[in-house]
Amino acid sequence: MIRTRKTLEAENHLGFRILGWVLAVALIAGLALSTVQVVLDAQRVSSELERQAEETLAMVYDAATQAVFSIDETLGQQVVDGLFALEAINFARISHLDGSELSSRQRTPSHLDFRPITDLIFGKVWVYREVLKRNENPNEPYGFIEIHLDTAHDANTWLMRALTTFISGIVIALILGLTLFILFNWLLAGPLLRIVHALKKVNPDYPDEHLLSVPKGHEKNELGLWVNATNNLLVAIAESQQKYREAEDRVSELARIDTLTGLPSRDAFLEDLQQIIEASKARGNAFSLMVCGIDDFKSVNEQCGFRTGDLILKTVANRLTANFTADRFALARLGSDQFVVVEKKLCDNFHAAETAEKILAIVGTPVEAGSHRISLTSTLGISIFPNDACEADRLLQSAEQTMALAKQNSHTRFQFYVASIDQEIRDRKQMEKDLAQAIKNREFHIVYQPQINLETKRVIGAEALLRWVHPEHGFVPPDKFIPIAETSGHIVNIGKWVLEQACKQVAEWAASGSHLRIAVNLSAVQLRQDSIVEDILARIAEYQIPPGRLELEITETSFMTNITDAVAKLHQLHRAGISIAVDDFGTGYSSLTYLKKMPVQHLKIDKQFIQDLLVNEEDTRIANTIIDLGRSLNLTVIAEGVETEEQEHYLTQRGCKLAQGYFFSKPLLPNDFEKFVKTFHANIVENNA
């Protein structure tokens, strides 16, 4: 469900946003118009000053001409003094043609606050100079009259008018914007907000319970139409949801009930089983769960047809329902030919066995299907709560696995879960005994998988891998016997043997001129041995190999039991010159704290991240992260499980230094490994030629 905010932030309010736009537009328009008015007014003031100067000169022209003609200083001074009656004039002078002054006067220009601004627009002083001539002889000049007009007074008046114009424009814009804002809120934003609040009160599950009210005065406009359309939509959604709920209930009912037999389905049974478990826990009761599978039911379908098969399943279901009442038993069909019976109050396992015999007899009673009389057999797997499991799915799984195991052995019988795992336990114990004799009987051998430098394309070493060929069972996968060897403690002796074989092989290769490094896996059990450091250093000294030719691979979980002790031992080995690598990095704790504490030189990307490289986005990201982590920590990253050219190319481009996998070579016996190295390097030289 999409949730709306309870309140709107001021900057998100539609009215405020419109107010902002209106004010902005109004202010811009007002300022533009005011600017035009101010510019026109400035032009008008300039023209007025020009006209004033011309009129002033025209008014005193004749008197000034007479004064300079008659060289009358008194008259000249009267003319000049008369000019100073005008506030704008701050300098006046009447002079002869040779420049000698007849009369003059000046005063200091006005000092107004805004003069620096107005001087930029109008200039500080306007200078006017006229040649003085008499009308009787207009071609002969007698002198000059010069006046200076101070623009400050008229400019200051203009500036006051400009400020008034701008302020009035801004005030008008504000009034206009606020007026439009109030009108918008009244006509649109307010009703919209009330509609939004009403929508918040609508129940998503039942949207037609609270329909919207049309805002007053908006019954016939767009808002009214929108509200009515919204109400129609809410009603339609409510009707659709009602139909969906009805269909969902129907589907849920069908999912809980097997349509063929009328018994609960698997999912419904698991829910019922959980309730039975909780009730049994409360009362302290045990109960049995029996999974019944009809034997060879597929052949019945093939020989008699699916309709006959369905009839048999219905008949078995009806018989079980008739013989096992709901107060003591719970029944269900798991699917295909499998049924499940739960006996809620169990006295002991013998009681469960009696019920199992009864089920076998019910299913074994022949079924009349038209012209066919069909006799059936069945197999039961039984699990007991709480002895075998306390979780519903685990309890059911235990019974199903037991039934499958019983079917492999014989038919028309039942088997308890504990008995079904007895053979597995016996097999495990036998494998422990066989492992104890495997070294003595020379059943182990070592294979070596080449490690390739992706930059130089050369073999730089190998990983030593243990293989076990059992005299009776043949090849035993390492992931099957290694865990048993670790839990039984046999891994200690096996690890010593592997280490000795690896050191011996390094010495043999070194003697033949092949200076390769061998990586040996060191298990958590070996790392916990007090003598592990001395044992490893003794083998190196025995075969006189450089410590750098040996690399120990440990998993992230190897040092978690006692990290202080493990780190101390690894530091001793590292100081001796032995390389340390973290194997299967990314599958365990992957803690940077542990990496910082340990003397690690190599990180090995687990093959599960390499297998789906470039296919699975998550695995690709993990691989890239490990490569980047190794680069940042100055660690060499080794990719194991490289199987395709695309993977090799991608890892090379990403900066992964080393790799191993079937793309280069499978694990090889020593002689085959030596041949591979020669062939591999020869091919590289040939390709580079």
Whether residue 323 is predicted with pLDDT greater than 90 in this model: the reply is yes
Q: Which residue has the higher pLDDT, 257 or 31?
A: 257
Is residue 197 helix, strand or coil? helix
Complete domains list, the chain, with CATH: 15-167 (3.30.450), 201-254 (no CATH), 257-420 (3.30.70.270), 428-678 (3.20.20.450)
Amino acid at 303: Q
pLDDT category at 460 given cuts 50, 70, 90 is very high
Whether residue 425 is predicted with pLDDT greater than 90 in this model: the reply is no
Q: Which residue has the higher pLDDT, 458 or 199?
A: 458
Q: Which residue has the higher pLDDT, 437 or 211?
A: 437
Note the pLDDT of residue 420.
46
Measure the N-to-C terminal CA separation of the chain; round to a whole number of Å.
66
CA–CA distance from 422 to each of 167, 292, 386, 620 (Å)?
Answer: 100, 21, 18, 42
| Spatial distance between the Cα atoms of 586 and 609, rounded to a whole number of angstroms | 9
| Spatial distance between the Cα atoms of 399 and 413, rounded to a whole number of angstroms | 14
Note the pLDDT of residue 571.
92
Note the pLDDT of residue 9.
56
- Tokens read off for 264: 């609960």
Note the pLDDT of residue 2.
42
Whether residue 499 is predicted with pLDDT greater than 90 in this model: the reply is yes
| Spatial distance between the Cα atoms of 320 and 314, rounded to a whole number of angstroms | 10
| Exposure string over 49-76, b if 16+ CB within 10 A, otherwise e | beebbeebbeebeebbbbbbbeebeebb
pLDDT category at 591 given cuts 50, 70, 90 is low
Whether residue 393 is predicted with pLDDT greater than 70 in this model: the reply is yes
Contact 276, 329 (CB under 8 A): no
Report the candidate in 149, 167, 154 with the shortest Cα–Cα distance to residue 118: 154
Note the pLDDT tens digit of each residue in 235-291: 888 888 888 888 777 777 777 888 888 899 888 899 999 999 999 998 888 999 999
Amino acid at 175: I
- Tokens read off for 550: 């040996």
Minimum mean pLDDT range among 71-85, 212-226, 378-392, 454-468: 212-226
Report the candidate in 595, 607, 596 with the shortest Cα–Cα distance to residue 663: 607
Q: What percent of the chain has pLDDT over 70?
A: 91
Note the pLDDT of residue 422.
47
pLDDT category at 4 given cuts 50, 70, 90 is very low
| Spatial distance between the Cα atoms of 132 and 139, rounded to a whole number of angstroms | 10
Contact 342, 356 (CB under 8 A): no
pLDDT category at 542 given cuts 50, 70, 90 is very high
Note the pLDDT of residue 396.
92
Note the pLDDT of residue 220.
72
Give 453-473 as a DSSP string. Answer: ETTTTEEEEEEEEEEEEETTT
- Tokens read off for 626: 């490990």
Tell me how long the chain is.
689
Q: Helices 14-69 and 115-122 meet at what angle, rounded to 10?
A: 70
Note the pLDDT tens digit of each residue in 347-362: 766 688 889 889 999 9
Q: pTM for this one?
A: 0.45
Name 637's Cβ contacts closer than 8 Å, sequence gap at least 6: 602, 603, 604, 605, 626, 627, 630, 631, 655, 656, 657, 658
Whether residue 452 is predicted with pLDDT greater than 90 in this model: the reply is yes
Average pLDDT of the chain, as a whole number: 83
Contact 549, 505 (CB under 8 A): no
Q: What percent of the chain has pLDDT over 90?
A: 32
Sheet containing strand 338-346, strands side by side:
329-335, 338-346, 286-294, 378-385, 413-416
CA–CA distance from 413 to each of 292, 323, 341, 380, 405 (Å)?
Answer: 10, 19, 15, 7, 11
Note the pLDDT tens digit of each residue in 106-120: 887 777 766 777 767
Q: Can you tell me the mean pLDDT for 183-205? A: 74
Taking CB atoms within 8 Å and a gap of at least 24, the contacts of 374-378 are: 374/300, 374/304, 374/308, 374/312, 376/294, 376/295, 376/297, 376/300, 376/312, 376/316, 377/294, 377/295, 377/296, 377/411, 377/412, 378/292, 378/293, 378/294, 378/295, 378/411, 378/412
Minimum mean pLDDT range among 451-465, 532-546, 582-596: 582-596
